[in-house]
Chains A and B, each alone.
Chain A
Amino acid sequence: GAGVSQSPRYKVAKRGQDVALRCDPISGHVSLFWYQQALGQGPEFLTYFQNEAQLDKSGLPSDRFFAERPEGSVSTLKIQRTQQEDSAVYLCASSLEWLAQTGGELFFGEGSRLTVL
């Protein structure tokens, strides 16, 4: 596709369930980012990949959060044993190269809205 694609768009999980959120970046984009956006807040950085290498995971809130990008294209964000505070929109963004080379422009998907009951 032409843009960043995320699925599912909406996910309702019971507390304690595991969830997996998928991101399909723009073809050829080597940088991939995950952000978490709580209701009424701005996006907060979770993690960053350069191709298949996860170079920064400093924003992951706990060890229940895990992200991978095994072949350097599609990425999956996994949340284990979901808690109510995990309810948020999870945004994926991609960039052609390092931010310094692209002038910081990120291309965002529409997000996956997770509701934990």
Chain B
Amino acid sequence: AQSVTQLGSHVSVSEGALVLLRCNYSSSVPPYLFWYVQYPNQGLQLLLKYTSAATLVKGINGFEAEFKKSETSFHLTKPSAHMSDAAEYFCAVSDLQGAQKLVFGQGTRLTINP
């Protein structure tokens, strides 16, 4: 079975500050890991993904995430927060082979303070 835990349901940072959203996973097979973002009144959209290539993955809008197998983590970072980054962020895991589904974490709401 696969699962995802996102530490912190709410994160608040100042504009220009570092953004760090934490995600830890559990998987009995090599995982594929994803970050999706949901802006208000919009559907979820893919931010970035790890599919067993480079462990440091770059996504849209300046976000990146690093896969650390030893820590079973896939934390999302951005060096400098922008007001437009305010959204809900979801980490997800899948094996892409068996069950055709992504297993999502509970989400982290990111607030940016001016």
Contacts and interface: CB of A to CB of B under 8 A. Distances in A.
Interface of A: 3-4, 31, 33, 35, 40-45, 48, 50, 55-56, 58-59, 91, 93, 98-100, 103-111
Interface of B: 4, 6, 9, 32, 34, 36, 41-46, 49, 51, 90, 92, 94, 96-97, 99-107
Ranked 10 nearest A-B pairs via Cβ = A42-B104, A108-B43, A108-B44, A45-B101, A100-B96, A99-B96, A42-B106, A110-B43, A43-B104, A105-B46
Contacts of B49: 103-105
Contacts of A45: 101-103
Contacts, number: 74
Given A42-B90, A99-B96, A103-B49, A33 B101 contact: yes
12 contacts: A4-B43, A31-B100, A33-B100, A42-B6, A45-B102, A45-B103, A56-B99, A91-B43, A99-B96, A103-B51, A103-B96, A104-B49
A104 B42 contact: no
A55 to B, nearest CB: 7
Contact of B101 (A56, A100, A103, A110): A56
A91 B94 contact: no
Contacts of B34: 104
A103 B96 CA distance: 8
Contacts of B90: 42-43
B101 to A, nearest CB: 4
